[in-house]
Chain A
Amino acid sequence: MKLTLADYLVILLYFAFVIAVGFIIKKKIRSSNDFLSSNRSIPLWITSLAFISANLGAQEVLGMVASGAKYGIMTVHFYWVGAIFAMVFVGLFMMPFYYGSRARSVPEYLKLRFDEKTRGLNAISFAVMTVFSSGISLYALAKLLEVILKWDFDISIWLAAGIVMVYTFLGGLTSAVYNEVLQFFLIVLGLSPLVIVALHDAGGWENVKAQLQPQFTHAWKYMGHTDTNPMGLHFMSLIFGLGFAMSFGYWCTDFLVVQRAMIAKNMKDAQLTPIVAALPKMLMPLIVVLPGVIAIALMTPALQSKGYSIPVNEMGGTDYTMTLPSLIAHYYPSGLLGVGITALIASFMSGMAGNVTAFNSVFTYDIYQSYFVKRRSDRHYLRVGKFITVAGILFSIGTAYIARSFNNINDFLQLVFSFVNGPLFATFLLGMFWKRTTGHGAFCGLLAGTAAAALTHGLTVAEGKGGWIANVYEIRSGMGQAFIVAAVSWIVNFVTTILVSLATKPKPEEELKGLVYSLTKKPSLGTTRWYLNPVTLGVVLLLVTILLNIIFF
């Protein structure tokens, strides 16, 4: 892939704009609250697009196109089963507690609802996970640029990290959020022409369907048995593992996304943020799944004359991760090629900035201010927040180099993250909806859930992975294994939390007002128009999602 002057101009323009946004926002930063939590002043359209954009990192964009090529239309389950329902749920039922409790972070909510040790466990694990995620994102960006553009690995790492550092250091969370919205439009508008031109080249959707095996163009029809679909999953594993444990665990408890709703101007906007974000999320498969499906169709005998193929990896197998870059290289002329490359860079930087801003909020509020230096001036915490931003970026760079040295560290870290994230939703569900849940119960439940996740992985094998204790049970796909690990960890956490809570003393009800459903006054929505009413909008979105599942059954 060779870039021309026009391509470089687009890339440079993007870099200039994201840095300029940092300088513009800098003037508005006067307190630690402005820097770390945007002083709860961001309008709905920005919080909604930032909510979805924080999840639109490189792993999402490249990974979903790759999955589209590998598994076909079944990849839409990550959206129409694994996202929309949880996004509507967090908006309707959980935001009133996150926002209404005035907590500045998810770990701080845990402190208010349970106790200090539960907050500490969640804050430390989250801080470590975000800094590693940010580093992996940086590594993947530099690796991609090295492979497709022959750019120097070190220069790519330091340039991308330097730009993210400048705009997050200057404008904090607001700057990251504003750039996420710019990145959202860039990714969507930058990749849309690719879908149109590739689909046209493949002879339209009907021809794509005609060329592919039916398992690749039906979302549910072949899920009655693990042997009949490309993912090797039974529909029950998908519904409980992805649709419940993993999906709700991520969208409802991960501070990286929840933070975008917590900076809304008022309760109604905070509730609407994930619900409004669910609309573009629902349509996102058009941008990130469809190109993968088209790519596979273009490689069938009838369309081989189009001259497109997915590159092969060092082992001689299909390198699905390169599906999107290879489509961009195949179809985009100079100029637009720069837009496509910039969209990829934007997705990496968006993921990294999201992680860094979530990391500095949690580190400053939940670790530094809670355990190390209490009751200092706001100016002190603002300085610490800025220092932590720089430190977070430097840690990410270090992690990126570790990832380069150890090929398997990415898989290992993703696995550890799933151990920590999988059971978390059970803690929040019980904490918000059962007033009897105690701090000891939540803490023990989290530990037991994480241990159960590790144990399940150690006793099952899928695609050669897992089984590091004993090979007790074989699972056909790695994805199926991930769903089962999440489901088991969720159940163990749920049961342990209930049992320990029943054996320990709960907090007085007076202290739980605003933190537990049954003890909290329901937020009044006033006389809003139907399309701005979270309940109505949420129901409409759920019905459309069900309809989409039926259409692509």
Chain B
Amino acid sequence: MYKRLNELNFVIGLFFTVVSLILLIDNFFAKGSPGNLNLYTGLTFLIFGLFMIAIKTNRNAE
């Protein structure tokens, strides 16, 4: 995993995954958030983050 830190898509994916977790945990504890905006955004960020992490790039190219 440490080597994958050299891949920008992995770093971006990791960032959005952690942000999504913050949003989802906040949504869980802060009941009554208007329109569950944190929930939907958190799930979208999670999908995007995991997608970016899953992409394999040619390390030599980067």
A residues whose Cβ falls under 8 Å from a Cβ of B: 4, 6, 9-10, 13-14, 17, 20-21, 24, 43, 46, 178, 181-182, 185-186, 189, 193, 197, 265, 331-336, 338-339
Contact = CB atoms under 8 A, between A and B. Distances in A.
A339 B11 contact: no
B18 A13 contact: yes
Interface in B1-44: 5-6, 8, 11-12, 14-16, 18-19, 22-23, 25-27, 30, 33-35, 37-38, 40-42, 44
11 contacts: A6-B22, A13-B15, A14-B15, A178-B11, A189-B44, A193-B41, A193-B44, A334-B33, A335-B27, A336-B38, A336-B41
Given A6-B22, A6-B26, A13-B15, A332 B62 contact: no
B25 to A, nearest CB: 8
A185 B22 contact: no
Contacts of A335: 22-23, 26-27, 30, 38, 42
A197 B37 contact: yes
A189 B15 CA distance: 12
Nearest to A18: B15
A334 B34 CA distance: 10
A185 B37 contact: no
A332 B48 contact: no
B12 A333 contact: no
B30 A334 contact: yes
Contact of B45 (A4, A6, A189): A189
A288 B14 CA distance: 26
A10 B5 contact: no
Contacts of B12: 181-182, 185
Contact of B19 (A10, A178, A334): A10
Interface residues of B, number: 30
Contact of B61 (A6, A43, A331): A43
Contacts of A332: 37
B22 A333 contact: no
B16 A185 contact: yes
B62 A43 contact: yes
A189 B14 CA distance: 15
A78 B25 CA distance: 40
Contacts of A43: 57, 61-62
Q: Which of B19, B33, B38 has the most CB of A within 10 A?
A: B19
A181 B19 contact: no
| 5 shortest interchain CB distances as A-B pairs | A335-B26, A6-B26, A333-B33, A335-B23, A335-B38
Contact of B22 (A9, A46, A189, A193): A9
Contact of B8 (A9, A46, A197, A339): A46
Contact of B5 (A24, A185, A333): A24
Given A21-B11, A43-B62, A178-B8, A333 B44 contact: no
Given A186-B15, A335-B27, 12 more contacts: A4-B26, A6-B22, A6-B25, A9-B22, A13-B18, A17-B15, A43-B57, A182-B15, A185-B16, A193-B40, A333-B37, A334-B33
Nearest to B14: A17
A6 B33 CA distance: 13
A11 B22 CA distance: 11
A336 B37 contact: yes
A256 B30 CA distance: 43
A14 B18 CA distance: 10
A319 to B, nearest CB: 25
B23 A189 contact: no
A9 B24 CA distance: 13
Nearest to A9: B22
A182 B31 CA distance: 30
A122 B30 CA distance: 55
A106 B22 CA distance: 43
Contacts of A265: 61
A276 B55 CA distance: 20
A189 B37 contact: no
A186 B62 CA distance: 21
A103 to B, nearest CB: 24
Nearest to B9: A45
Interface centre among B15, B42, B61 (most CB of A within 10 A): B15
A17 B11 contact: yes
Contacts of A181: 8, 12
A10 B18 CA distance: 9
Contacts of A182: 8, 11-12, 15
Contacts of A336: 23, 37-38, 41
Contacts of B26: 4, 6, 334-335
B32 to A, nearest CB: 9
A178 B48 CA distance: 18
Contacts of B45: 189
Contact of A197 (B16, B25, B35, B42): B35
Contacts of A17: 11, 14-15
B2 to A, nearest CB: 10
A339 B19 contact: yes
